[in-house]
A and B are shown apart, each in its own frame.
Chain A
Amino acid sequence: MAQAQMADVQDVRVDRPAARLSLAHVLVAFLAFGIAAIAGLLQGLVRGGVITLPKWLNYYEVLTAHGVYMGLVFTTFFIIGFLFSGVARTTGGSLPPAGLRLGWTGWWMMVVGLVMATVTVLTNNASVLYTFYAPMKASPYFYIGTGLLVVGSWVGGFGIFASYRAWKRKNPGKLSPLFTFMAVCTMVLWQIATIGVALEVVLQLIPWSFGWVPTINVLLSRMLLWYFGHPLVYFWLLPVYAMWYVNIPRIIGGKIFSDSLARLSFLLFIFLSTPVGFHHQLMDPGISPEWKFFHVLLTMAVVVPSLMTAFSMFAVFESAGRAKGATGLFGWFKKLPWNDVRFFAPVAGMIAFIPGGTGGIINASYQMNEVVHNTIWVTGHFHLTVGTAVAMTFFGIAYWLVPHLTGRQLTPAVNRLGLVQAVIWATGMLLMSGSMHILGLLGSPRRTAYTTYMNDPTALSWMPLQGVMALGGSLLFISAMLMVGIVLYLAFFAPKGFEEYPIGELDDTAETTPRFMERWSVILSLAVFLIVIAYAYPVIDVIQNAPPGSPPLRTW
């Protein structure tokens, strides 16, 4: 069997150099997560009318910090750290020298970028939120910092590609390990996606913010940002799917349902996640309704690989339960390890992804977007997807990844504490995201400080639910602080030992995977082809028939 290297290797350990690289990423991720959680608590309490911020602290500075640290720093660092560990784990335990070198170069670039962005955000010189819409102008060093963060992540991605190539060279003709393939797919998607934001930052924002050019083409900057903005969410999601496909089967004592279908769903994400950005701009002027509709069509297509994933997950759960002797239609449900935080946290996230994904389909549904666009419904939506499905899976990963990397153990006590942490997070999110969804339908806007709009009766009627939001946010903060504490404990204080890095094995009945799935020239050509169809004409049009430019403004 081609996956022979995956069998009998549950005691393979990520070696010291690879573990150090992975851990360096994961620790920065949770540091950023902790800071972002403090910002999140402040926002929730302000919006709920519980506290007012002191004069020297701008609400939107706090909001920028929350978005940048959660959305860009926590996710990117965690993902790259996790992928490096999994690549090492599934290719024999170590990374090749090129992989390590590129990995550390990328890490340092990202850290320098992070420091630059932090200084500009915390001095209130970049209160432009993490979408940094022009013509609001942040300090040029904010753009350079975020640019370095992106370029550093590219270098990290090159490290993952180098490790994949080294394995391929050592194992000619063999199918790559599933996790490594998924890591490569994730970073390929990321490279394609970030080209948009890199072009925006380098060609538009940096020259304009330094004053080298007087005005900026705002519509073009928005197109480039959203070319990146939607695949960004799939960059968050793919490592989560990798965990669900590859790690969860081992944790629940089951088998991977199908290697080829798992790979196919990842390839579909590479093809379909980028040419869909206009569904974030459905309410924008300057883009014709026909092009918007075309992007909506492709957006619906990108739901298909998620449907495939959902099927695989329940198939794995059911067959694992039945293999343990479950009977009846739902007997397998009780056989699942609900008291194992490595399973419970990701599955809680999975459940949240059902309403999360449904909400996403609503948001992308063309006219229906008018009801929810830029209301706090959208904030509620992505707190279910990235804030619950993705974040809780990352928590679930951290519970075994961190001790595995540091040669320590997830003790039963920490497992119990982890269950408490996960339950608090899920409860907080249910309260916060639930009230955000309702408030959004009532018309309450996102990204807005506490306001009654001069005692407008409609706005006043929103207040009770904004209070519930604040309560949910407070629970989330408690859970976040627990999580940071647990990560530090697992990294530096937990008892020494061996914590398994769970990698699922393939079901014996599964078929062999077709080889076209690793023909990267074909895969990339098809991805580029779809992007050209979806974007070439609108982008050329908005450059040639550019709206009059906008000078830079600082409005905070």
Chain B
Amino acid sequence: MHLHRYEKIWLTVGILTLAAFVIVAGINAFAMGAMPPSDRQMIDPTKVDQTPPFNQPGLKKIGPNEYDATMTAFVFGFAPATIEVPVGSTVHFRVTSKDVVHGFQIVGTNVNMMVVPGLVNTASHTFTKPGNYLILCNEYCGAGHQLMAAHVVVK
């Protein structure tokens, strides 16, 4: 099949650009560790309140400036509703759902993940600036979806 010379140039440039995108994303992910949240740990969604660590949602200090935040998502809120950490802290968020699918997004950061019942999802973030960060549910979950929020207070 014959391709016009200009079309060859156009497609070559286009394909090389796309290849560059994929290579950058690949290096970023597999060499630098910037993977999207893809935890594969399972949990019975009907027994979240009895399953450690989600039976006691909350913040736990695991090192200097490092915290584990174990959180549950449910209609229509998160537990705990407020987390307080000092500036410069790295927080590992571990979230599961007690009912339907929810979203977990911390506005102003790259923390953004799906919270699917039956599974745990995880994401980490280092808070370098003080502020009151809004955590919101970004997946429609029912009549009170627009009220589902929590906060990370960074002091």
Give A contacts to B, CB under 8 Å.
Answer: 58-60, 63, 127, 129, 133-136, 217-219, 222, 260-261, 264, 281-289, 292-293, 296-297, 300-301, 303-304, 307-308, 311, 315, 361, 365-371, 373-375, 442-443, 445-451, 453-454, 456-459, 511, 514, 547-551, 553, 555-556
Contact = CB atoms under 8 A, between A and B. Distances in A.
Contact of B11 (A304, A454, A547): A304
B7 to A, nearest CB: 5
Contacts of A304: 11, 14-15, 18
A342 B21 CA distance: 36
Given A136-B100, A443-B105, A556-B142, A285 B40 contact: yes
Contacts of B34: 367
B121 interface: yes
B92 interface: no
A553 B117 CA distance: 12
A556 B140 CA distance: 10
Contact of A448 (B21, B40, B145): B145
Contact of B21 (A59, A129, A361, A454): A361
Contacts of A547: 42-43, 116, 118-119
A456 B134 contact: yes
B145 A135 contact: no
Nearest to A286: B119
B113 interface: yes
B38 interface: yes
A369 B42 CA distance: 24
B110 to A, nearest CB: 5
Interface in B54-111: 75, 99-101, 103, 105, 107-108, 110-111
Contacts of B7: 261, 308, 311, 315
A286 B117 CA distance: 11
Given A133-B139, A282-B36, A373 B112 contact: yes
B38 A303 contact: no
A346 to B, nearest CB: 21
Interface in B107-138: 107-108, 110-121, 132, 134, 136-138
A42 B52 CA distance: 44
**Contact count band on B:** 35 or more
B19 to A, nearest CB: 8
A550 B10 contact: no
B1 interface: yes
A285 B38 contact: yes
B113 A285 contact: yes
B11 A448 contact: no
Given A447-B139, A550-B100, 17 more contacts: A133-B139, A260-B1, A284-B114, A285-B41, A285-B115, A286-B42, A293-B29, A303-B14, A361-B21, A367-B110, A369-B36, A373-B112, A443-B105, A445-B103, A445-B105, A456-B151, A556-B143
B108 A300 contact: no
A375 B108 CA distance: 12
A283 B110 contact: no
Nearest to B9: A311
Contacts of B49: none
A303 B29 contact: no
A268 B136 CA distance: 39
Given A222-B116, A458-B134, A375 B36 contact: no
Given A297-B22, A548-B43, A284 B38 contact: yes
Nearest to A308: B11
Of A457, A458, A511, most buried by chain B (CB within 10 Å of CB) is A458
Nearest to A307: B14
Nearest to B106: A443
A445 B15 contact: no
Contact of B100 (A264, A311, A553): A553
Interface in B1-46: 1-4, 6-7, 10-11, 14-15, 18-19, 21-22, 25-26, 28-30, 34-46
Contacts of B140: 60, 63, 129, 133, 447-448
Contacts of B36: 282-283, 289, 292, 366-367, 369-370
Contacts of A369: 36
A366 B27 CA distance: 11
Contact of A553 (B21, B39, B99, B103): B99
Contacts of B141: 136, 555
A371 B112 CA distance: 7
Nearest to B75: A555
Contacts of B41: 285
B120 A285 contact: yes
Nearest to A547: B118
Contact of A284 (B3, B26, B116): B116
A360 B2 CA distance: 29
Contacts of A370: 36, 110-112
Of B7, B37, B100, B132, most buried by chain A (CB within 10 Å of CB) is B100
Given A285-B116, A443-B107, A443-B108, A451 B146 contact: yes
B21 A365 contact: yes
A556 B110 CA distance: 29
Nearest to A378: B138
B131 to A, nearest CB: 9
A56 to B, nearest CB: 13
13 contacts: A60-B140, A133-B140, A261-B7, A285-B38, A286-B39, A300-B21, A304-B18, A367-B36, A369-B36, A370-B112, A373-B112, A374-B105, A555-B141
A315 B144 CA distance: 52
Given A514-B1, A553-B100, A303 B119 contact: no
Contacts of A549: 118
Given A303-B18, A555-B141, A550 B4 contact: no
Nearest to A452: B146
Contact of B25 (A366, A375, A458): A366
A116 B25 CA distance: 44
B150 to A, nearest CB: 10
B97 to A, nearest CB: 9
